[in-house]
Amino acid sequence: MKKQSALTAILKAKSLTLTVAAAVVILFFYIMNREFLSGNSIRSIMNAMSLSGMLAVGISILLIGGEIDLATGAEAMFGGVVCAAALAAGMPIPVAIIAAILFGAVAGLINAFFVNVLNIMSFIVTIGMSSIYTGLAYYLTNAKGINVSGAFLKLGTTALFGIIPTPFIVMAVFLVIYAFILRYTDIGRAVYMIGGNRAAARLTGVNPKRVTTIVFVNNGVIAAIGGVLLTARMHVANPGAAASGALDAIAASVLGGVSFAGGAGGMGGCFIGLLLLNAFINGLMAVNLPTYFQLVAQGALLIIALSVEYFNARGRQKRVAAEARELMKK
């Protein structure tokens, strides 16, 4: 039996439209303002991509597995607070980071507990958890945030070749590793299966609860690491940080073709979604659009991009059918 034909391979590359869109967006803002592709601007795009990117990696995997974590931004923020508090208490940097990671793991376990054991929808559970972490963080930091200083800052402020920020590199490494895990490991495959059909997955020997737990813990840990990087970049762990983190990450993932219904998507699309979203947001700043309109434009981008994808898919179906007909006639 043959591998898929070139035709279907191209059709499968759903993210083609998005790549083109990202390129168009970048080109457009470059024409509008040459500064858009200056070193500084690229750096700030990459910086912006790194936090939402970390969160998007975790969220994409959750979405593929049919779950969601609306507390992911709050988990990142709280991870940052834990790390900063540990540093402030005089702990060494690695210990502080591990403390944040542990918090992320526990946060994931808590989500998984409610979803697996009490059968509450993750959507509901994580709305609640988000509020709890935010409230706790304000309480614990007296609503002021915890400043960090010293060598720890290097994590967030250094850049490779003076242009690629360290957090971006960390994010890119995660993205690539998870791309492999999703594609080439049994646990990766299991995530798709439980997202696609949980009952069938169970009957084929996948343990849906175990996989769900893994993806939640994984997400918590990634979010916490994201929070640590953000804290290092901002010099402060601020309870108000990453408030829209979950929504931005979900937007990027879904834009990149990760299915909200579960079972489909991947890291490649997730990356392009991120790039498109962040290039666009930065571009709006580059052309000095008033802040409020930036919000409007962001929302419009998301909706337009998804609609375009929809029409494209429809057109593609028709085209393929026509081509198939031609082929058959021969």
Partner 1 sequence: MEHQLLIQGLSKSFPGVKALDDVFIKAEGGRVTALMGENGAGKSTLLKILAGDIEADEGSFSIDGQAQTYKTPLGAISAGVSVIYQERQLMPSLSVMENIFAGKLPKNRLGMIDYSRLRQDTEDIIAKFGLAIDPRASVGSLSIAYQQMVEIMKAYRRDSLVIAFDEPTASLAEAEISILFGLIERLREAGKIILYVSHRMSEIFQTTDDVIVLKDGKNAGAFMTSAVSETELIRAMVGRDIGNTYAGLDRNTELGAELLTVRDLETDKLQRVSFSMRQGEIIGFAGLVGAGRTELARAIFAADGIKGGEIIFGGEPVRFRSPKDAINAGIALCPEDRKEQGLVLSHSITKNISIPVLDKLLKARFLQTAEEEKLADEAVRKYDIRTPSVDKRVVELSGGNQQKVILGRWTNEKMNTKLLILDEPTKGIDVGTKAEIYQRICDFAKAGIGVIFISSELTEVINIADTIYVMRSGKITGKLSRGEATEESVLALAMKADG
Contacts to partner 1 by CB under 8 A: 1-5, 7-8, 11, 180, 183-186, 189-190, 192-193, 196-197, 199-207, 263-264, 320-321, 324-325, 328
Helical H segments across 204-244, by residue range: 208-234
Answer yes or no: are the C-beta atoms of 125 and 220 closer than 8 Å. no
Least distance from partner 1 to the Cβ atom of residue 270, Å: 18
Residue closer to partner 1, measured from CB, 66 or 165? 66
Residue closer to partner 1, measured from CB, 179 or 243? 179
Residue closer to partner 1, measured from CB, 58 or 263? 263
Least distance from partner 1 to the Cβ atom of residue 66, Å: 11
Least distance from partner 1 to the Cβ atom of residue 61, Å: 16
Structure tokens at 224: 């916490």
Least distance from partner 1 to the Cβ atom of residue 306, Å: 18
Burial degree of 136 (CB within 10 A; 0-12, 13-18, 19+): middle
Residue closer to partner 1, measured from CB, 82 or 175? 175
Least distance from partner 1 to the Cβ atom of residue 250, Å: 20
Residue closer to partner 1, measured from CB, 132 or 264? 264
DSSP string, 269-329: HHHHHHHHHHHHHHHHHHTT--HHHHHHHHHHHHHHHHHHHHHHHHHHHHHHHHHHHHHHH
Per-residue exposure over 29-65, b if at least 16 CB sit within 10 Å of its own CB, e if not:
bbeebeebeeeebbbbbbbbbbbbbbbbbbbbbbbbb
What DSSP character marks residue 5?
Answer: P
Non-local CB neighbours of 192 within 8 Å, separated by 6+ positions: 64, 65, 182, 263, 264
Residue closer to partner 1, measured from CB, 200 or 304? 200
Residue closer to partner 1, measured from CB, 304 or 324? 324
Q: Among 206, 163, 177, which residue's Cα sits nearest to residue 66?
A: 206
Q: Name the strand (E) or helix (H) holding 165.
A: strand 164-165
Question: How far is 310 from 73, CA to CA, in rounded Å?
Answer: 29
What DSSP character marks residue 149?
Answer: -
Residue closer to partner 1, measured from CB, 206 or 228? 206
What DSSP character marks residue 179?
Answer: H
